[in-house]
């Protein structure tokens, strides 16, 4: 009988050790750290591993493919119109935050923000909170909230300045600023 209990205890102990534990996630739903299973909200979390596996250099493409929402014009060039439709609501009703701080396009009239300007190398996690969140975030969050959480440490801005002397009175200079391990290529016409 003792052998039976010993074998059973070893078997149950190994199964309990093999179970995965859920990590705490900073949720946009409550504005404080909580487990995903303890919130009554619809939250889609895209972590760093999923972002790297997607292989995209564009945050809009990652969110469209993995986040379950539609970004109209995410394949367009920067500067072209793009619109985020979360649960079919009007574009102005989706709030975009970076590390919990709302971001807006200063050149536009509405609250539309071009997330293609944020490099994928800078992003640690994206939390998409679907449904009305206007009680926590105001009237911009009627359709939901997209919270982009940036990486901490290790990523330092890398700046290069390229100056070329021309036979004109003014030299032509261009400054490139990138984060992470991106490579910027440049082609110059030679006469």
d(CA 72, CA 60): 10
Q: For residue 32, tell me if it sits in a domain.
A: yes
Mean pLDDT value across the chain: 70
Per-residue confidence at 7, pLDDT binned at 50, 70, 90? low
Half-sphere exposure of 143 (CA within 13 A, CB side): 16
Tell me how crowded residue 82 is: count the other CB atoms within 10 A of its CB.
Answer: 19
Which CATH number do you get for residue 142? 2.170.130.10
- pLDDT higher than 60, residue 46: yes
The torsion defined by the Cα of 26, 157, 55 and 29, in degrees rounded to 10, comes to: 20
**Beta-strand pair 94-98/144-150:** parallel
Would 113 be classed as within a structural domain? yes
Whole-prediction pTM: 0.65
pLDDT, position 20 = 53
Number of structural domains found in the chain: 1
Identify whether 99 is part of a domain.
yes
Query: Domain containing 48: what range?
Result: 21-150
């Amino acid at each position: 009988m003792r052998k039976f209990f010993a074998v059973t205890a070893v078997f149950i102990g190994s199964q309990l050790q093999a179970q995965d534990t859920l990590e705490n996630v900073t949720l946009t739903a409550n504005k404080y750290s909580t487990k995903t299973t303890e919130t009554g909200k619809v939250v889609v979390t895209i972590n760093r591993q999923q972002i790297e596996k997607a292989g995209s250099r564009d945050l809009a493409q990652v969110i469209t493919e993995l986040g379950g929402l539609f970004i109209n014009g995410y394949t367009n060039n920067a500067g072209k119109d793009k619109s985020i439709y979360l649960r079919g609501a009007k574009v102005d009703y989706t709030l975009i935050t970076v590390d919990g701080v709302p971001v807006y396009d200063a050149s536009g009239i509405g609250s539309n923000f071009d997330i293609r300007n944020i490099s994928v190398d800078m992003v640690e996690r994206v939390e998409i909170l679907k449904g009305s969140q206007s009680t926590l975030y105001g009237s911009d969050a009627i359709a939901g909230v997209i919270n982009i959480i940036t990486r901490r440490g290790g990523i330092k801005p890398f700046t290069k300045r390229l100056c070329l002397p021309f036979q004109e009175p003014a030299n032509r200079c261009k400054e490139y600023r990138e984060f992470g391990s991106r490579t910027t290529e440049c082609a110059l016409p030679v006469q």
